[in-house]
Chain A
């Protein structure tokens, strides 16, 4: 986790430095346009360097490193999440091909069906959620809120 913390802080540092370099060398912004992001970027860079320099290998920087004690009850509650959420990340990203191939209306409903079935939910519940998702998208977003959702696969009109 400490290594991930350093990597993430370094990523922020690189991100800000990259865009400041783009602004200065590529776009060649005038000072009036550039001074504010430049000043903000310098502050972020300094703070990131401070975090990277003071980072010690034994410092735990994960979320809720210890179980928290609720003020109201005094009970120790373990609010930590297990690590290893890559399956969750991949499944979130997996919604994209469903939308591209089947469009928003059917694609998202189908995604819900496939996800629930592959994670042990029964056909009855999965199909109910499929139909419910279709109905909600159509009635709430397309009819009531009049959102122009692409119905067809990406690129098909």
Chain B
């Protein structure tokens, strides 16, 4: 193993690999910042560019770009209330209120530092787990995946807003909307109303853009107000950024715990990275002295999802490299990159290319840190966007949203549904229904259904009696119950 690590260092510290990482970082950040154009789109667009490259530089390029997308996405989540990618929706909950209070620099400093540290923790765990991974991943079966997916939705629904019942309605509605379209098990289209568009169900990007972007644009256009109710000079913004940077090590246990949640969720194939930031957010809120402060601009509500967001990438690499099973949808695309470059992840890959696996881990760690440093330097300039008059920023954002929605599938119905979900999101925001819970329910709806079906088929109705399943179920009930009881007493 030591030989592999040394070889990995040697391979990583070559001009080709470092050059690819440096090129990929701004590309990934740009994709993350553009609403609607997230990590999956970035990978899909960039994969053709690696044809003909050597394996490690090519993979370093793809992985570095993908790893930093969520760092870029956190910026729009905080500054504009628009998640750059669905996992960034958890950051909106407290990041955007901080921005509106004129403390965008504080939130961004904390988010970027948490992202960098979370990415490093994810990589460290990856490196430690890789050689011993197979039995760990194989111990997690369909019941555990089912409960984990449900855990994410239930946590966010019950804990992510001020009214748990409304949050659970939102999460349930998200799962219900995910039932539209072709049934993944039988292939029969459901609730499609004889519409070709709905055979494939609702799309994630129009839903996310509509729920989060359109309500903010409506507010900007109707009031004309800038995002920040108080404007700050660049020097104060720089001060805020530093304050945010130091806020993370002062909450080291929160950062570490959230990162570990990200890694654990990322390791489980099929659940996807979207759950991790919400579970981390829910746990942070549950353990906070003032849980009702969450959602109104509490820095812990930014640190928790951001550190888990980047840590999960290291976790998602684990089953991808070790078993050839993608740990997330992004990793599924990355597998395509592996095959293009003539490599086949799996147990043999670790036996024959363990040094390359370690090099890729280094790529993720370094990319996260460099991206955070780059964005920290640019933050005072970028945060000026919160001072732009709403009547200027609103229409420009709407243009980006429309184009972002159209560009996913070149389908005009995607734009139509952005408006429909936008109205839904507007009223949800005004009436305190959790939009993040709906989004997460939508993302995980098919996972929940599929793994429920598999669990019932494989283990019967008592599938939940497996030890790890009982543990996850217990954690879910304990976490939700604790907060509900505290609220009831309050």
Interface residue ranges of A26-45 to B (CB < 8 Å)? 27, 29-30, 32-34, 36-37, 40-41, 43-44
Binary contact readout A31-69 vs B (1 if CB under 8 angstroms, 0 otherwise) = 011101100110110011011000000000111100011
* Chain A residue with the shortest CB-CB distance to B288: A71
Binary contact readout A1-18 vs B (1 if CB under 8 angstroms, 0 otherwise) = 100110011001000100
Q: Which of A61, A96, A133 makes the CB contact (< 8 A) with B396?
A: A133
A145-B37, A145-B407 known; A68 and B165 CB under 8 Å?
no
B405 to nearest A CB, angstroms? 11
Asked if B173 and A95 make an inter-chain contact with CB atoms under 8 angstroms apart, the answer reads: no
Interface residues on B, range: 35 or more
Q: Which of A8, A32, A37 makes the CB contact (< 8 A) with B186?
A: A32
Q: Which of A77, A92, A116, A141 has the most CB of B within 10 A?
A: A92
With the chains together, A23 CA to B183 CA distance in Å? 13
A115-B391, A121-B392 known; A51 and B169 CB under 8 Å?
yes
A: number of interface residues (CB 8 Å): 73
Asked if B392 and A125 make an inter-chain contact with CB atoms under 8 angstroms apart, the answer reads: yes
With the chains together, A66 CA to B326 CA distance in Å? 45
With the chains together, A1 CA to B97 CA distance in Å? 22
A108-B402, A115-B391 known; A16 and B101 CB under 8 Å?
no
Question: Is residue B362 contacting chain A, with contact meaning CB distance below 8 A?
Answer: no
Q: Which of A5, A51, A68, A95 makes the CB contact (< 8 A) with B97?
A: A68
Which residues of chain B come closer than 8 Å to A48, judged between CB atoms?
Answer: 169
Asked if B103 and A141 make an inter-chain contact with CB atoms under 8 angstroms apart, the answer reads: no
Which residues of chain A come closer than 8 Å to B423, judged between CB atoms?
Answer: 89
Q: Which of B101, B191, B297, B402 makes the CB contact (< 8 A) with A22?
A: B191
User: Which A residues contact B (CB, under 8 angstroms)?
Assistant: 1, 4-5, 8-9, 12, 16, 19, 22-23, 27, 29-30, 32-34, 36-37, 40-41, 43-44, 47-48, 50-51, 61-64, 68-72, 77-79, 81-82, 84-89, 91-93, 95-96, 99, 104, 108-109, 111-112, 115-116, 119-121, 125, 129, 133, 136-137, 141, 145, 147-150
User: Which B residues contact A (CB, under 8 angstroms)?
Assistant: 37, 45, 97-98, 100-101, 103, 106, 163, 165-166, 168-169, 172-173, 175-176, 179, 183, 185-186, 188, 190-191, 193, 214, 217-224, 229, 290, 293, 296-299, 389, 391-392, 394-396, 398-399, 402-403, 406-407, 410, 412, 415, 419, 422-423, 426-433, 449, 452-453
In the complex, given contacts A4-B431, A69-B296, A85-B218, what are 6 additional A-B residue pairs having Cβ atoms less than 8 angstroms apart?
A: A8-B427, A37-B179, A78-B229, A89-B222, A108-B403, A115-B395
